[in-house]
A and B are shown apart, each in its own frame.
Chain A
Amino acid sequence: MEDMMYELLFFLEVLFSGLLTGTLYSLVALGFVLIFKASGVFNFAQGAMMLFAALSLVGFQEMLGVHWTIAFVLTVALMVVVAWCIEKFVLGKLVNQEGIILFMATIGITFFLDGFGQTIWGSDIKTLDIGLPTGSIDLGGIFVDRLELVAGLTAAALVVSLAIFFNKTKIGRALRAVADDHQAAMSVGISLRTIWIIVWSVAGVVGLVAGIMWGSKLGVQFSLTLLALKALPVLMLGGFTSIPGAIIGGLIIGAGEKLAEIYIGPFVGGAIENWFAYMLAMAFLLVRPQGLFGEKIIERV
């Protein structure tokens, strides 16, 4: 009986930790969704933006010796500049191109940002410390990592504020109009360029937040971009255009891969976290090609 109790607690602990890791995936996925909704671009560079933002935050802190809040503001400003550059030099030149071309262009952006970030900020592993709590707390017998808990709460707060931003503000309405129909939005006087810059900036800030969480957990290093790729199966699961999809997809992937690692991993040699998420998403897509929350598309000719 006690064994079963222990087993159950252990299961819950794994599940909870998985769900919280999942919210970190969701944070990255959120950036993807924002950009995809507003501009139809599948932004492969979201992970690179996250790394670049985290590197810059630490870099500003070290270089200027300022408090992290000031570094945060500086980094946000930098991400706006990045967004402006991307619109000016990449997307603006590729208007009306096919999605797949834009996708490959964002792979180019990924490589550029990775190289550029490491050129100016260096490539050694940096510790990111903005005073987030560490260690774990005991929630009725389940031990939960404090940092993961904070990450989970931050993700929730971010989603709520984005929802308010989208639904209540004028810019938010314009964004939704653009997401719905580019041509129509332009014809009522919404500037596509401005909207894109705003969306990419917001995605940059979301990336910064994700980068802070991941960076606090693992240190700011190049391998974060690989982790960010995990947001892709999250998107496949949740659909490219759905913010709730990104959150729920993240939770499923996070919990699924943790549980799989603990309960299936030992039988097949471990380290299945590397691919489990992708396989799960792929298997899911075969059943439901439009993802959990995507709309079924009626094809016309």
Chain B
Amino acid sequence: MTYQDVKPGEVLLAVDNISLSFGAVRAISDVSFDINKGEIRAIIGPNGAGKTSMLNCINGFYHPQQGTITYKGQKRSAMKPYEAAAQGIARTFQNVALFKGMSTLDNIMTGRNLKMKSGIFSSMLWYGGAQKEELEHRRYVEDIIDFLEIQAIRKTPVGRLPYGLQKRVELGRALAAEPELLLLDEPMAGMNLEEKEDMCRFILDVNDEFGTTICLIEHDMGVVMDISDRVMVLDYGGKIGDGVPAEVRANQQVIDAYLGGGH
């Protein structure tokens, strides 16, 4: 498989007519949308609308029964999540999915795993190749730690951290993979205003400085309308709106879905 390099503004990932169901439950029905390189793309919708399922399809955790996903101009066959990760798709989770038994530093270091090549034997011997590699990646991870302003909790086991910081560490872990496409599943859920502002700043900075394409799910409408370039709205597994924030805000179907008028 060969992937084309995608220039900013071109389509990085396209989802065409995908449907996903679990038994009789239909999670996504016939949804198409695309993500352009370099943009911040939001997916919104009421609970149970199929937003997380959509992210799960994109990173290969669920396999839609119908439809295709095209990534960098290449139609993707069903793949495992680790294959999607190897292609530059990283993500965070709705319920923080950090490795509880490990420190902040180690958690973020796991994000570098795809770039670390030393084998079992050289890792066992350590001095030499493995140590050098470890230090190189440590340097990169320390930059992320500085960027996210979490120097003080470097050695703290993540289980002991407050929720807001855990979300930040999780973002760090995803960033460590130097992803091309970053999927954020409710990065600001359960945060207070100040934490939300920090997180917004990080997301915008990542998008700005590294040119990382971001696709995020968020419930806070203010935030979504502020930071995203385009917004897609899902309801009951179907797409009911798509466009720049102003368009979506004016869409009657979307207003109905949110105010409950349509049902």
Contacts and interface: CB of A to CB of B under 8 A. Distances in A.
Interface string A275-301: 000000000000000000000001111
A301 B22 contact: no
Nearest to B91: A301
A282 B128 CA distance: 42
Contacts of A299: 61
Contacts of B95: 301
Interface residues of A, number: 4
A298 B25 CA distance: 12
B207 interface: no
The contact size tier of chain B is under 10
B231 to A, nearest CB: 23
A28 B97 CA distance: 37
B94 interface: yes
Contacts of B52: 300-301
A301 B60 CA distance: 12
Interface in B14-60: 22, 52, 56
A300 B62 CA distance: 9
B93 to A, nearest CB: 5
A298 B22 CA distance: 8
A239 B97 CA distance: 28
Nearest to A299: B61
A301 to B, nearest CB: 5
Contacts of B61: 299, 301
The A interface is mostly helix, strand or loop, or mixed, namely: loop
A91 B105 CA distance: 34
Interface in B42-101: 52, 56, 61, 93-95, 97
A298 B93 CA distance: 17
A298 B97 CA distance: 17
A202 B28 CA distance: 45
Nearest to B56: A301
B41 to A, nearest CB: 20
A301 B185 CA distance: 10
- Residue from the set A298, A299, A300 with the largest chain B CB neighbour count within 10 Å: A300
Contacts of B97: 301
Contacts of A298: 22
Nearest to B23: A298
A300 B22 CA distance: 12
Contacts of A301: 52, 56, 61, 93-95, 97, 185
A290 to B, nearest CB: 15
A301 B98 CA distance: 12
Contacts of A300: 52
Interface string B158-190: 000000000000000000000000000100000
Nearest to B81: A301
Nearest to B61: A301
Contacts of B93: 301
Contacts of B94: 301
A301 B186 CA distance: 12
A262 B22 CA distance: 45
Interface in A90-113: none
B89 to A, nearest CB: 14
A189 B221 CA distance: 38
Nearest to A301: B93
A299 B56 CA distance: 11
A143 to B, nearest CB: 49
Interface in A135-163: none
- Residue from the set A298, A299, A300, A301 with the largest chain B CB neighbour count within 10 Å: A301
Nearest to B94: A301
A298 B61 CA distance: 11
Nearest to B97: A301
A52 B46 CA distance: 55
Nearest to B185: A301
Contacts of B22: 298
A301 B95 CA distance: 7
Contacts of B185: 301
Interface in B179-204: 185
Nearest to B93: A301
B227 to A, nearest CB: 24
Contacts of B56: 301
A260 to B, nearest CB: 37
A299 B95 CA distance: 14
5 contacts: A298-B22, A300-B52, A301-B94, A301-B95, A301-B185
Interface of B: 22, 52, 56, 61, 93-95, 97, 185
Interface of A: 298-301
Nearest 10 A-B pairs (CB), nearest first? A301-B93, A298-B22, A301-B97, A301-B61, A301-B56, A301-B94, A301-B52, A301-B95, A300-B52, A299-B61
Given A301-B52, A301-B95, A301-B97, 8 more contacts: A298-B22, A299-B61, A300-B52, A301-B56, A301-B61, A301-B93, A301-B94, A301-B185
